[in-house]
Amino acid sequence: MGEQHVSQRWSLRFPAETQICHFDGESLVFNPLSWETHLLNVSAAEVVSVLSEGPQYFDILVGRMREAGMNVQNGVSVEDQLEGLLIELESLGIAIRSL
Amino acid sequence: MRRLNELAPDQLRGALQAEGIGLSLGTARVHIRSDVPALAPALARVYGQFPVEEPSGFFDVAPRLELVRRPGQLFRAQLRFFVDGEVPFELFPGDTHLPLLEWGLNWCLADRSNHKLLLHAGVVEKNGRAAILPALPGSGKSTLTAALSARGFRLLSDEFGVLDPMDGTLRALLRPIALKNESIEVIRRFHPDAVLGPRFPKTRKGDVAHMAPDRASVDRRDEPAVPHVVLFPAYEAGAATVLEELPPARCFAKLSTNSFNYEVLGPAGFRAVTRLVESTRGYSLRYSTLEEAVERVQRLFESER
Amino acid sequence: MSAASTLCWFRPAPHIVDLLGLLGGRTSAADLSLEQWDVLVRTARRLRLLGTVAYRLRADSDQWAAVPGPVRAHFESALTTLAFRRQKVLLEMDSVRQALSDPAIPIVLLKGAAYIAQNLPLAHQRLVGDLDLLVDRDRLDEVETRLIDSGWESLKPDPYDQKYYRDWSHELPPMQLPGHALELDVHHNILPPTGRLHPQAAQLIRDAIPLEEGFFRVPHPADQVLHAAVHLFQDSDCLFRARDLVDIDELIRNFGQTPSFWDELISHARVHGIERPLWYALDCGVAIFDTPVPNTLFEKLNTRGPGYAARTMMRLLLPKVLFTEHPERTPAISERVARWLLFLRSFWLRMPLGLLLLHSAMKLIRNFRKTSERTE
């Protein structure tokens, strides 16, 4: 399933207004669309942090997440975990697929 | 300037009926008028230490508490809270004057204070360092706030903890502390010198009595305070006293849910709470005996000196 | 333009003078006493104009600096509230876009949402209470189904309400996405079919202008002014509605800079048959806010505007109705009478008598049932 995502690019929807604040183990992100604040786990926070550097291809993101320590968990591949996180961030209006 | 409890009862009653009285509560200034005779002695008691100001200049809220007699209800007067030409909520029973005034002031102040972060919290201060006690109703916030103020802490507020999002300081919004049900007797026993107003039975929040802020707190109501700890009180009958440090992210989440307008402030709210959490320590405080809880907070303030 | 002011029919009450002066940039903030600010803030709050005053003061750094601190706090609070509500509109627009964009249905944003989508100065000066959309009547059911499939829920599930809205109203019963702050009102016209005027909804949609973002449209500038005018003078009792005139004034100051705007305003008003409300709106705008309207426009509207008697009557009543009384006084008898007359007028314009009686009777019966259920 990773195949089709290799060329997909992801970015923050409102990069300048997305604020993130890290505390040990947990992070909070300010959602500039809904003005809600979300509590993020380490992996989701890492995704937002990487995206805040600029738009990223999916496979680059996979590499960055591996570097940050994301492993196969309960038989779920890093790609699938990442995809799940991205879709969740997309539905919150934080992340967006770009061309 | 004379304090409210220095006015003769008739003088206060007359002033309320005519031009009204001005009160500075710290970050807000209110102009109160009323034709309810029983309100005057109640006000004189629970706002007793506040200087009476001329009813002129600019006011943040200028309510009028009025008796309403409807045809067919000749003997059962009701009260209405009238502000700026409108009656924002339903009539209250005639004998609940002070609770209605306090409730109405809360409603107006909450509606008009989105330039500040409003926490549903008590705030007390000692040696320039403030404790914020945010909590949902029923968690013993007011009781603990009242108890701390009785043991030498300066009271800044009970209902609204006011944080300036620009400089991160806390501002006083000094009002009587509304004690409910058992808390009334608890505080009477804990601090026999406490000045309590009349007891209002069976309001929508149960029995209510208000504790007057002490003189020192009133005189210092224009001084801001720097946040030092955030304490989430949780009263639990029979529980042992437990003070536990909270992870900052949890403290953030709990602060934002215990705020009236966190979301309204948007990015400024996020920055203000981030700064607050980074510059303070957060704790949860479970307690059943007030003495022990107060002692733990005092120790906390001493140990972190 | 200033011809009207030589013999102006509008003489503001003293407590309104400062408010109008600040709004128009004529009054210097430094000249106002704290007592004047007190009355002004209370009056502006009640008229829902606090944010507008705040926005205009802040736009001028000298004025803003001259506002006393405790007063400025109220303006800052109002601006914060405005920004929050504006964001809620943007969020709601985003949700609607997701629900209706594939395959796309032509959706026209109305009123506040349209001002926000065009980023007009007005968007930062007024509170938007709900999201109003206009869709073609033939696609109403499809829109409703797709919104409900995307999670919106009707706020009027009562069958009588549902039927009432569908038969007699120009919109679906209000809907809301659970957890969201705003209501969604899906219109198929800008006035109820039962009223005396019948704007051509299909034409409004045809004339609408697509936004750069590619999905939503906004009404033609002339139609935005016309909608605000009918909203105030055809679909309301005008009570304390100076706010709506501020909108009209702002819209005209914005769109009036385009030379073709004025001819389009006349021709669109004619197509939709809403020259009378437009006449009143412009007449009030010129008299109260010095709205820049070319004199020739009134001449062009004249034959289809209100007659001499109606004009005189409205000019007599409106000043007593559009603004609130002084916050420390109760309304004068003349004000009460004027408000009552315009209240009657609004019913006359909105509903034929028979329907009004039927609807009132139904409401009465239902209220009676509810009360008796409660007492049983």
C88 at B interface, C-beta within 8 A:
no
Query: Are C171 and C185 within 8 A, CB to CB?
Result: yes
Q: How confident is the model at residue A37 (pLDDT cuts 50, 70, 90)?
A: very high
Q: How far apart are the first and last CA of chain B?
A: 37
Strands (E), chain C: 107-109, 130-134, 153-154, 175-176, 183-187, 209-210, 216-218
Which among B29, B57, B264 is the nearest to C35, CB-wise?
B57
C348 at A interface, C-beta within 8 A:
no
State yes or no: pLDDT of C135 exceeds 80: yes
- What integer pLDDT is reported at residue C369 of this predicted model? 63
Average pLDDT of chain B to the nearest whole number? 94
For B241-264, give the DSSP string: PEEEEPPHHHHHHHHHHTBSSHHH
State yes or no: pLDDT of C371 exceeds 70: no
Q: Per residue in C200-210, pLDDT tens?
A: 999 999 999 99
Residue of C239, C245, C231, C146 whose CA lies nearest to C192: C231
Contact list, B260 vs chain C (CB under 8 Å): none
C71 at B interface, C-beta within 8 A:
yes
State yes or no: pLDDT of C373 exceeds 70: no
- What integer pLDDT is reported at residue C375 of this predicted model? 41
C181 at A interface, C-beta within 8 A:
no
Query: Are C54 and C75 within 8 A, CB to CB?
Result: yes
Say yes or no for a CB contact (<8 Å) between A39 and B266: no
State yes or no: pLDDT of C4 exceeds 60: no
CA C156 to chain centre: 23
Say yes or no for a CB contact (<8 Å) between C37 and B58: yes
Q: Per residue in A52-96, pLDDT tens?
A: 999 999 999 999 999 998 888 888 999 999 999 999 999 999 999
Q: How confident is the model at residue C330 (pLDDT cuts 50, 70, 90)?
A: confident
- Report the percent of chain B where pLDDT is more than 70: 98
Average pLDDT of chain C to the nearest whole number? 90
Contact list, B252 vs chain A (CB under 8 Å): 21, 23, 28, 37
**Where is average pLDDT lowest: B153-157, B269-273, C219-223, C341-345?**
C341-345
Query: Are B296 and B242 within 8 A, CB to CB?
Result: no
Residue of C289, C272, C193 whose CA lies nearest to C227: C272
Residue of A86, A85, A80, A81 whose CA lies nearest to A98: A86
C-alpha dist (Å) from residue C44 to C18, C19, C38, C139, C324: 10, 7, 10, 40, 9
Average pLDDT (C347-368) is: 69
Say yes or no for a CB contact (<8 Å) between C45 and B84: yes
- What integer pLDDT is reported at residue A1 of this predicted model? 46
- What integer pLDDT is reported at residue B74 of this predicted model? 61
Average pLDDT (B108-123) is: 97
Q: Per residue in C44-103, pLDDT tens?
A: 999 999 999 999 999 999 999 999 999 999 999 999 999 999 999 999 999 999 999 888
B117 at A interface, C-beta within 8 A:
no
**Where is average pLDDT lowest: A40-54, C149-163, C231-245?**
C149-163
- Scan residues 49-78 of A and list those with Cβ closer than 8 Å to C: none
C84 at A interface, C-beta within 8 A:
yes
- What integer pLDDT is reported at residue C303 of this predicted model? 78
Q: Per residue in B136-159, pLDDT tens?
A: 888 889 999 999 999 999 999 999
How far off is chain B from C326, nearest CA to CA, in Å? 8
- What integer pLDDT is reported at residue A5 of this predicted model? 56
Say yes or no for a CB contact (<8 Å) between C42 and B62: yes
> How far is Cα C204 from Cα C226, in angstroms, rounded to an integer?
11
Q: Which of B114, B164, B173 to mutate to test the interface with C (most CBs of C within 10 A)?
A: B114
Touching subunits of C (3+ CB pairs, under 8 Å) are: A, B
Contact list, C83 vs chain B (CB under 8 Å): 266
> How far is Cα C37 from Cα C71, in angstroms, rounded to an integer?
7
- What integer pLDDT is reported at residue C355 of this predicted model? 63
Average pLDDT (C126-154) is: 94
Contact list, C68 vs chain B (CB under 8 Å): 58
> How far is Cα C123 from Cα B102, in angstroms, rounded to an integer?
35
> How far is Cα C149 from Cα C129, in angstroms, rounded to an integer?
24
How far off is chain C from B71, nearest CA to CA, in Å? 20
Q: Per residue in C346-357, pLDDT tens?
A: 877 876 665 666
How far off is chain A from C92, nearest CA to CA, in Å? 9
- Report the percent of chain B where pLDDT is more than 90: 86
